Amino acid sequence: MILIHVCCGPCLLYPLAWFRERGIEVVGYFYNPNIHPYREFKARIKALEEVEALKGLNILWDKNYGLRWFIKETLMVWENPQKRCERCYVVRLKQTVKKALELKAEAFTTTLLYSIYQRHNLIREIAEDLSHKYKIPFFYEDFRKGYQLGQQEALNIGIYRQAYCGCVFSEEERYSKTRKKELNKSLKKEE
């Protein structure tokens, strides 16, 4: 069995189909203290519950709302999106590894590898480091190739599809033109 960290319902659809086509058993794990505000967190849980029921997938849930945790974790780095996201990935994947070890899973992976908006290579690097450190295989696949298929299925089944990554900062980066400009400038400086 492979434990798959699940960030949300829409991002699970394609990877789940991919595993099932190959006869590989997966169990989902929802652990995302990075999703804010509260109503958004609830909306994403509801969408994933719909997928869980529709697909008959076993999902292990951590439904604790993590705003306070996230603020503490990112206090020193929130102004640097690169570092902020890195910390966010590390925490979610480390928790997934611990859960996978507890369940004696053969490997772990994440639906974060499906999104074309995530820092794919950074996620892969972090997961490989954790795999090495905790001695559990990381199952890598570039699920981005199925991005359109997954999105289309989410539309067809009518589940909620979020418009931003998750944290309050990403919500601002999505909707504030000023913040978008500042962000682009800081990313250019980093290049």
Contacts with ligand SF4 by CB under 6 A lie at 34, 84-85, 88, 165-167, 169-170
Q: Looking at beta carbons only, is 17 or 122 nearer to ligand SF4?
A: 122
Q: By C-beta, is 4 or 88 nearer to ligand SF4?
A: 88
CB of 123 to ligand SF4, least distance (A): 9
Closest to ligand SF4 by CB, 19 vs 96, is 96
Beta carbon of residue 97, minimum distance to ligand SF4 (angstroms, whole number): 17
Nearer of residues 17 and 43 to ligand SF4, judged by Cβ? 43
Q: How far is the CB of 112 from ligand SF4 (least distance, A)?
A: 8
SS3 content of the chain, % helix, strand, coil (to 5): 60, 10, 30
Distances (CA, A) of 190 to 48, 81, 183: 35, 11, 11
Exposed (0-12), middle (13-18) or buried (19+): which is 94, by Cβ within 10 Å?
Answer: middle
Nearer to ligand SF4, 19 or 110 (CB): 110
Nearer to ligand SF4 (CB atom), residue 19 or residue 89? 89
| CB of 110 vs ligand SF4, minimal distance in Å | 12
**Spatial CB neighbours of 114, under 8 Å, sequence gap ≥ 6:** 11, 12, 14, 15, 143, 144, 146, 147, 150
How far apart are CB 17 and ligand SF4 at their closest, in Å?
24
Please state the closest distance from residue 164 (CB atom) to ligand SF4, in A: 8
Question: From residue 30, how far is each of 20, 77, 143 by CA, in Å?
Answer: 19, 24, 18
